[in-house]
Structure 1
Amino acid sequence: MKIVYVVYGYTNPGGTERVLATKANYFAEKGHQVSIVSLKKETENPFFSFSPLISFYNLDIPTSDKKYKQVFIDKVTELFKQIQPDIALTMGFGLTIYLSEVKDKSKKIFEYHFSKYKRKFELAAFDKYAMGRFLTDMYSLKRNKVVRKYDCFVVLTDEDKQSWRNIPNIEVIANPRAFVPSNYSELTTKRAIAVGRHTYQKGFESLIDIWSDITTKYPDWKLVIFGSGKKKERLEKQIKSLGITGAVELLPPTQNVEEEYKNSSVYVMTSKYEGLPLVLMEAMSCGLPAVSYACKCGPGEIITDEEDGFLVKPGDKKAFIEKLSLLFENRELQKRMGQLAAENMQRYNVEDIMPLWIKLFEKLHSA
């Protein structure tokens, strides 16, 4: 089967890029003809490894601005005459949403790597009420029209599927974890870890505030945050102003993140919204108990509350500190949760998740 991903880019060290590499590599190694089409002209080597069996194409479109819609459609149409894909996928909103308007014989799939409300995550609270659902449906009207144009719209969690409600072509397929560790953290290092871009979404300002209180009570515990982004300087200033430069460290993205998880003892997440956070899945795979805000969507499906980690109401810093304190002061609880975390993450094995994609492709292709 000929499978094509049409994406904005594939070289960055983000979760979406990591998932793309995992899935594309799997399909290629199973004998499928896989291509990745990038909107922008890539000038750097990919952060994650891609199989040499995969073909890459760059459309060299300057931005994802809507004014390039027809340019995008024309270039993809011409390229698809060459590739002749059976399945074509896009992974998010932006210019690539117009993939559905490319007229060829391929089946089109929109796979979404965030949750419905994304930056407008506060709107999720309105879904509890009939009038609120009407208002949120009006807010999402344009996006609903976009995803209905595809042969299939794939989201990552049942929680997010419920938010989209009356989308007839919706399916749920979780992301697979990117690796299976051969051993786990011994949970002996007094170090908490977080991984993610320095952006509004990740809420690291909240995490640093929390650590300012943590370090007064547990001065021997350190926090490391791996990532990069536009807000790094602001986060550095915050750390300095709180006087915790010795307790919090901002480090660049690493290709050896598995070892960094294993050198830590707890994973912390203060995101404002997610899709299905791969870093949380990875950390727990390495035997780390986790404390996370229960944001939309993903943490509530990955963490089994009070079994392999703790879920905290978003923004409740006091409760977050209390859950961390429980882990810091109870070694047996930390070990038990870490062991269960490693066991529970097995449900995200590539061997269990990826056949769901193959089944979907075959169903669409034969329709």
Structure 2
Amino acid sequence: MLNINFLIASLSDSGGTQRMLSILVNHLVKSYDVSIFVNVSGAPYYDLDEKVKIVKLPKGLLKKNLFIFKYFKKNNTAFYINLDSNSVLFNGFLLPTKTKLIIWEHFSLESNYDKFIFKVSRFYAILKAYKFVILSKKEITDWKSKMKLSDSKMVLIQNPVSINQPLNPENKYKYKKVVAIGNNPKVKGFDILIKAWRTIKTDWELDIIGLDESENDVLINQYNINKTEKINLLGKVKNIEEVYANSSIFVLSSRKEAVPLVLIESQCFGLPAVVFSHLTSAVGIVQDSALIADYNEPINSLANNLKSLIEDKDLYYSLYKKALINRENFSQSLFFQEWKKLVGND
């Protein structure tokens, strides 16, 4: 049985990267011997098939790289799939000749392009990698222009819907809820969102999902959030389907994003979106099922676009229908098919 090994920093986080990895390995383990290297121990946040092996890497750069090399050699690992090109120098600097490196890039090149050590690691990854799996056409363009990565080394595999969606979701305008999801308040621009929300006079509510208790407390204290403002900090949730099912609008107020899985999921439930203009990969995902806010005037533009969707039912219904059409681009069957094609050629 073909041996495939993945690497991710941690499985215990509730992010989209962890969710995508769990979906893929739970499928691949039916046909392949699958293991996952982690640098941080902890129980997986998402369920993994019991046949998937989790291996905690030792500390220390030399010790870790020697461990990886010996593990691959012993297990005749065919593919080493690293979920971050920035970490290749530190996690698998030397690989057996029979082990093919695949970079499954989940991070935006644009957001950390200028950091020297990351540049070095990415150049090394380009030299060593068999293939780069890229999540969007925008990221492919960036890798070609900024890193001179050839077309022959890149494969476009978009993240699929990772939840059980209703076949005919009801229109959700009646719930009067705007939802934002993320686990990093600074990166996700929740400060911008809160300031924008306070300028909107409405009986709707804003739900912010995904932060831990301490991060929620920081936002509450920093912005003096009270219950009368209808800003709800709901923390981490496992049943994300229920969140989408009981929301009306999805808002992406991030300062930076690669390919946001939560945006794809929200589309599958028919949620019209408001997305910042500088998030080009996200804009490409929603196509014409969202309103695009000007990041050069973040607070005013975000507020105005949210207000438009809240107050204009015809506009809301139009984007709702377009979101349902758009969801067909993100099926799991296509995702699995593309990955099987990639690792099945050995």
Give me the whole-angstrom Cα distance separating, in 2, the residues matched to 1:153 and 1:100: 17
Q: Is the 8 A contact 1:195 1:279 kept in 2?
A: yes
Identify if the C-alpha distance between structure 1 residues 297 and 156 changes in structure 2 by more than 3 Å, giving closer, same or farther: farther
Q: Is the 8 A contact 2:164 2:241 kept in 1?
A: no
One-letter code aligned to 1:88: Y
Q: Is the 8 A contact 1:156 1:276 kept in 2?
A: yes
- The gaps in structure 1 that reach 5 residues or longer are 62-67, 121-135
Corresponding residue for residue 161 of structure 1: 140
Give me the whole-angstrom Cα distance separating, in 2, the residues matched to 1:347 and 1:180: 15
User: How big is the shift at 1:41?
Assistant: 2.7
Q: Is the 8 A contact 1:11 1:46 kept in 2?
A: yes
Give me the whole-angstrom Cα distance separating, in 2, the residues matched to 1:145 and 1:103: 19
User: How big is the shift at 1:174?
Assistant: 1.3
DSSP-derived class of the 1:86 partner: strand
Corresponding residue for residue 294 of structure 2: 313
2:61 pairs, out of 44, 69, 74, with 69
Q: Is the 8 A contact 1:157 1:172 kept in 2?
A: yes
Corresponding residue for residue 80 of structure 1: 72
- The gaps in structure 2 that reach 5 residues or longer are none
Matched, 1:202 2:200: no
DSSP-derived class of the 1:23 partner: helix
Identify if the C-alpha distance between structure 1 residues 86 and 257 changes in structure 2 by more than 3 Å, giving closer, same or farther: same
Q: Is the 8 A contact 1:40 1:58 kept in 2?
A: yes
Q: Deviations over 1:109-138 (max 9, x none)?
A: 111111112156xxxxxxxxxxxxxxx799
TM-score after normalising by structure 2: 0.89
Matched, 1:344 2:326: yes
Corresponding residue for residue 142 of structure 1: 120
Q: Is the 8 A contact 1:288 1:341 kept in 2?
A: yes
Identify if the C-alpha distance between structure 1 residues 248 and 178 changes in structure 2 by more than 3 Å, giving closer, same or farther: same
Q: Is the 8 A contact 1:5 1:36 kept in 2?
A: yes
One-letter code aligned to 1:204: F
Give me the whole-angstrom Cα distance separating, in 2, the residues matched to 1:339 and 1:110: 35
Q: Deviations over 1:39-74 (max 9, x none)?
A: 2233xx32211122312211243xxxxxx3212211
Number of corresponding residues: 334
Give me the whole-angstrom Cα distance separating, in 1, the residues matched to 2:62 and 2:87: 10
One-letter code aligned to 1:167: L
1:224 pairs, out of 197, 207, 223, with 207
1:271 pairs, out of 237, 242, 254, with 254
DSSP-derived class of the 2:343 partner: helix
TM-score after normalising by structure 1: 0.84
One-letter code aligned to 1:154: V
1:249 pairs, out of 232, 239, 252, with 232
Q: Is the 8 A contact 1:108 1:151 kept in 2?
A: yes
Supply the RMSD in Å over aligned alpha carbons. Answer: 2.3
2:107 pairs, out of 89, 104, 114, with 114
Give me the whole-angstrom Cα distance separating, in 2, the residues matched to 1:140 and 1:78: 25
Q: Is the 8 A contact 2:8 2:39 kept in 1?
A: yes
